[in-house]
Structure 1
Amino acid sequence: MSTPFAELLPRSAGSSAIRVWLKSSAYTKRLLLGADDADPWGSAAGFLAYFSQAHGLLKPDVAVIEVGDLFEAWSRREGGLEARLGSRRRPATALRKLLEPAAPKAVLAEVVEAVLAHLRGQTPLVLAMPSPRAWLMHANRLAGGADEDLDPDAIEDAAMYVADLIRSVSTFPISGLLLEEQTDDRDLGTAFVEPYRSVINVARHYRWSVALRLPAFTQVPAEAMAGLDAVIAEAGSYDGSLPFGSDISAAFAAGQTIAPPPTGQFQFVEIAPGLRPEAVLEMLVRLRALSA
Structure 2
Amino acid sequence: MSRLLQCYDAGNGAQLLWIEAQDYAAQLLCGGTPPWTDAASALAYLNKVQGLIRSDVIVLPVATIIAAWLEHHADLRAAIATKTRLLSPLKIVLGDSALRTHLNQIAQGLRASHRERPLVLSVPSPRHWPALAYAQAFVDATSPVVEADDADAASVYIADFLRGFGEIDIDGLLLHESTDSVPASDEDLACYGAVANLARHYRWALVLQQPRAGDYDASTIDLVLTPQPQRGAVRDMRSATLDATSVPVGRHLLIPAHGLSPERVLESLAALRHDGVTC
State TM-score, norm by structure 2. Answer: 0.89
Q: Which amino acid aligns with 1:288?
A: R
Residue 13 of structure 1 corresponds to: 10
> Is the Cα–Cα contact under 8 Å of residues 20 and 61 in structure 1 kept in the other structure?
yes
Q: Secondary structure at the match of 2:67?
A: helix
1:93-132 deviations in Å (ceiling 9; x for gaps): 121122111111101111111111111x211111111111
Residue of structure 1 in register with 2:107 after alignment: 112
CA distance in 2, matches of 1:95, 1:256: 40
Answer yes or no: is the 8 Å Cα contact 1:193–1:226 preserved in 2.
no
SS at match of 2:224: strand
Structure 1 stretches of 4+ moved >4 Å: 15-18
Equivalent pairs, count? 273
Aligned amino acid, residue 27 of structure 1: Y
Identity of aligned residues (%): 29
Instruction: Map 1:36-55; keep pairs closer than 5 Å.
Output: 38-55=33-50
Say which SS state the counterpart of residue 10 (structure 2) adopts: helix
Instruction: Measure the CA separation in 2 of the matches of 1:181 and 1:241.
Output: 16
Report the equivalent of 2:269: 284
Give, as a single letter, the amino acid of the residue that structure 2 aligns with 1:141.
A
SS in 1 for 2:128: helix
**Could you list the per-position Cα deviations for residues 205-242 of structure 1 after superposition, in whole angstroms to 9, with x for gaps in the alignment?**
011101101123x3434x2x24210111113x314341
Contact 2:123 2:174 in 1 (8 A): yes
Alpha-carbon RMSD across the aligned residues, in angstroms, is: 2.5
Aligned CA distance change for structure 1 residues 21 and 220 (closer, same or farther; 3 Å): farther
AA in 2 matched with 1:269: L
Whole-Å Cα distance in 1 between the matches of residues 81 and 56 of structure 2? 43
Distance 1:24 1:73 in 2: 17
Please show how residues 67-106 of structure 1 align to structure 2 within 5 Å: 67-79=62-74, 83-106=78-101
Check if 1:269 corresponds to 2:263: no
Shift of the 202–242 alpha-carbon distance from structure 1 to 2, 3 Å rule, reads same
Decide whether aligned partners of structure 1 residues 29 and 154 sit closer, same or farther in structure 2, where only a CA change above 3 A counts: same
Report the AA paired with residue 185 of structure 1: D
Alignment match, 2:127: 133
What residue identity is the alignment partner of 1:204? R
- Note if 1:163 corresponds to 2:159: yes
Gaps of 5+ in 2: none
CA contact (8 A) 1:81 1:142 kept: no
- Structure 1 residue 142 corresponds to structure 2 residue 136: yes
- Report the alpha carbon displacement of residue 146 of structure 1 after superposing the two structures with TM: 3.4
**Residue equivalent to 1:152:** 148
Distance in 2 separating the partners of 1:86 and 1:24: 31
In the TM superposition, residue 19 of structure 1 has moved relative to its aligned partner by: 1.7
The superposition leaves residues 228-285 of structure 1 with CA deviations (integer Å, 9 ceiling, x where unpaired) of 10111113x3143411110112xx13432434x6xxxxx1112111132111111111
TM-score, scaled relative to structure 1: 0.85
Deviates more, 1:77-86 or 1:131-140: 77-86
Which of 206, 217, 220 is matched with 2:202 structurally?
206
Secondary structure in 2 matching 1:128: strand
Q: Which amino acid aligns with 2:131?
A: M
- What's the CA shift for 1:148? 4.4
